[in-house]
Amino acid sequence: MSIALLQREDNKIIDGKSIAHQVLQEVQADVSKIKQKGIDPCLAVVLVGDDPASHVYVRNKVEKANVVGIRSLEFRFDEQLSEVDLLKTIDTLNTDPTVHGILVQLPLPKHIDEIKVLEHIDPKKDVDGFHSENVGGMSQGRDVLTPCTPTGCVRLIKETLGQDLSGLHAVIVGRSNIVGKPMAALLLKENCTVTVVHSKTQDLHLVCQQADILVAAVGRPNMITASYLKADAVVIDVGINRVLEDGKPRLVGDVAFNDVLPMVSAMTPVPGGVGPMTIAYLMKNTVQAARLQHPDL
Judged by CB under 6 A, does residue 102 bind ligand GUN? Answer: no
Nearer to ligand GUN, 14 or 148 (CB): 148
Asked if residues 293 and 34 have their Cβ atoms less than 8 Å apart, the reply is: no
Candidates 3-11, 97-105, 206-214, 269-277; binding stretch for ligand GUN (CB under 6 A) = 97-105
User: Catalytic one among 12, 30, 61, 288?
Assistant: 61
Buried b (16+ CB within 10 A) or exposed e, 114-124: eeebbebbbbb
Asked if residues 134 and 123 have their Cβ atoms less than 8 Å apart, the reply is: yes
105 part of the active site = yes
Judged by CB under 6 A, does residue 90 bind ligand GUN? Answer: no
Judged by CB under 6 A, does residue 89 bind ligand GUN? Answer: no
User: Catalytic one among 12, 30, 64, 105?
Assistant: 105
Shortest distance (Å) from residue 149 CB to ligand GUN: 6
Q: For residues 162 and 213, what is the distance between their CA atoms, to the nearest angstrom?
A: 13
Q: For residues 240 and 225, what is the distance between their CA atoms, to the nearest angstrom?
A: 16
Assign 121 to helix, strand or coil: coil
Candidates 17-25, 66-74, 91-99, 104-112; binding stretch for ligand GUN (CB under 6 A) = 104-112
Judged by CB under 6 A, does residue 289 bind ligand GUN? Answer: no
Shortest distance (Å) from residue 72 CB to ligand GUN: 14
DSSP state of 46: E
What are the angstrom distances between the C-alpha of 179 and each of 42, 109, 256, 277? 25, 21, 20, 13
Among 31, 70, 103, 229, binds ligand GUN (CB under 6 A): 103
Positions annotated as catalytic residues are 61, 105, 128
